[in-house]
Structure 1
Amino acid sequence: MTLIKICGISTAETLDHCVREGADMVGFVHFEKSPRHIDLETMSALAALGRDRIETVALLVDPDDRLVARVAGTGVGWLQLHGRETPDRVAEIKAFAGLPVIKAVGIGEAEDLAAVTSYHLVADRLILDARPPAEADRPGGLGARFDWSLLDALDPAMPFMLSGGLDCDNVAEAVSMVRPFGLDVSSGVESAPGQKVPGLISRFIANARALAPSTREPR
């Protein structure tokens, strides 16, 4: 069954809805430039609400060790690194936090695939996202879809989660064309930046799960 992560969760009501609808992971963003940013007190409360019900992920951008320690103390189950962290830095953060790590890798052209294997060796999971424009002040795909055919060049055994421009209308195409082991959605289930819509979450999960599961499996 395709793993589904709903990112940018900021309220208990939305987290509860994700649990009821069968999402596997929820993401909490701690990055002040993001419209989905939440403080660590809120993150701690949401992590406690999700405990033993759903996997919880804290999304960080180029964090220093002090922030990593504070976020690890909130009780989240995973860290997601969405900045320019090198493979060595990913390994350092994983060891320092004592938590499994997801690394997001931006894809915009064939040359970007060279980094995927290096990060796969140190991260527990990978998210392949659209590479942001050069002038962007935030990382990530920013709701944009990249050319999925670029991923044909990856080793077929390489497991990854897909992100970037996913929504209720294209998720079935993503599953059938790319066959990732997981999907990561945020803006595609919103009415406005940071405003999750329960009905869109439900529809996204139903459409993603309507097809046969992926042949790629996480290690």
Structure 2
Amino acid sequence: MAPRGSPIVKICGLSTEDTLDAALDAGAERVGFVFFPRSPRHLALARAAALAARARGRAAIVALTVDADDAALGEIVAAVAPDMLQLHGREAPERAAAVRARFGRPVIKALGVSTAAEVAGAAAYRGSVDEILFDAKPPEGSALPGGNGVSFDWRLLAALDLPVPFMLSGGLGPCNVGEALRVTRAPAVDVSSGVETAPGVKSPELIAAFVGAARGATPPP
């Protein structure tokens, strides 16, 4: 558990026991499993269920999907029993609200942003989701909506007044998460590619370093 005043840390795209254990041992409050076949981090349901069982009670389990329909979400919920659902596609506020109502889980909505207007657009999700995750817009031609290792101008969040809690993602790693937290005062951070040695290959050492760096960040007075 994070010390008082420290950000919540989520390690996303986990796929092996040793990297999951590294996240849990380091004290990450959330662990994320990806259900998107085009991603190098995609998991089969049986594999995700086994990892979720290993993590249950030690961290919140987050299932990440991209424009999934109710049938696919139902299979994930039945097999994995996630604590939270992360919607990382083009889901509108109405769709996000419907998912939250149907499956009875808190919903995180990821938004790719690069401008102040896009950040302000998050207000449309008030009442529909439990958290907003601000991510960098994917590079032109990218097949993935997230996990691309690119960041955005953190100053866009410096004076953010949002009616729901938010998380910061996009291009974060052990070397820059402290500065990102100082600029944004984000209450939570999310990392995937920033703790990998190759796409989809997590490093236990980088995971531990990321959590440690996040814990050591001190926001400005």
- Normalising to structure 1: TM-score of the pair? 0.93
Measured in 2, the distance between the counterparts of 1:7 and 1:117 equals 25
**Match for 1:77 among 66, 77, 83?**
83
What's 2:3 paired with? none
Instruction: Map 1:11-22 to 2 at 5 A.
Output: 11-22=16-27
SS at match of 2:158: helix
- Map 1:143-154 → 2, pairs under 5 A: 143-152=149-158, 154=160
- Superposed CA deviations along residues 38-68 of structure 1, whole A, max 9, x for unmatched, are 1111111111111111111010000101011
Residue 32 of structure 2 aligns to a residue in which SS? strand
Whole-Å separation in 1 of the counterparts to 2:107 and 2:165: 15
- 1:152 and 1:175, CA in 2 relative to 1: closer, same or farther beyond 3 A? closer
C-alpha distance in 2 between matches for 1:156 and 1:101: 16
Aligned mate of 2:208, from 172, 194, 202:
202
Whether the 8 Å contact between 1:26 and 1:57 is mirrored in structure 2 is: yes
Determine the structure 2 residue equivalent to 1:180.
186
Partner Cα distance (1:40, 1:141) in 2: 20
Which one is further off, 152-161 or 9-18?
Answer: 152-161
Aligned with 2:65 (options 42, 60, 65): 60
Counterpart Cα distance in 1 of 2:219 and 2:164: 16
Letter in 1 for 2:138: P
Determine what percentage of the aligned residue pairs are the same residue. Answer: 48
Which whole-Å CA distance do the structure 2 matches of 1:72 and 1:52 have between them?
Answer: 17
Counterpart Cα distance in 2 of 1:204 and 1:137? 26
Aligned counterparts of 2:69 and 2:163: Cα–Cα separation in 1: 33
Distance 1:113 1:20 in 2: 33
| Matched position secondary structure for 1:183 | strand
Listed as ranges, the matches of 1:54-133 within 5 Å are 54-73=59-78, 74-133=80-139
TM-superposed CA distance for 1:153, in Å, is 5.0
Instruction: Give the superposition deviation at 1:212.
Output: 3.2
Query: Does the CA-based 8 Å contact 2:130-2:164 persist in structure 1?
Result: no
TM-score, length-normalised on structure 2?
A: 0.92
SS of residue paired to 1:90:
helix
Stretches of structure 1 that go unaligned for 5 or more consecutive residues are: none
Counterpart position of 2:52: 47
- Cα deviation, residue 154, structure 1: 2.5
| Alpha-carbon RMSD | 1.7
Aligned-residue offset at 1:157: 6.9
Separation (CA, whole Å) in 1 of partners of 2:150 and 2:93: 25
Q: CA deviation at 1:191?
A: 0.4
- With over 3 angstroms needed to count, the CA separation of the structure-2 counterparts of 1:213 and 1:114, relative to structure 1, is closer
2:9 paired with 1:4? yes
Quote the Cα distance in structure 2 between the aligned partners of 1:158 and 1:93: 17
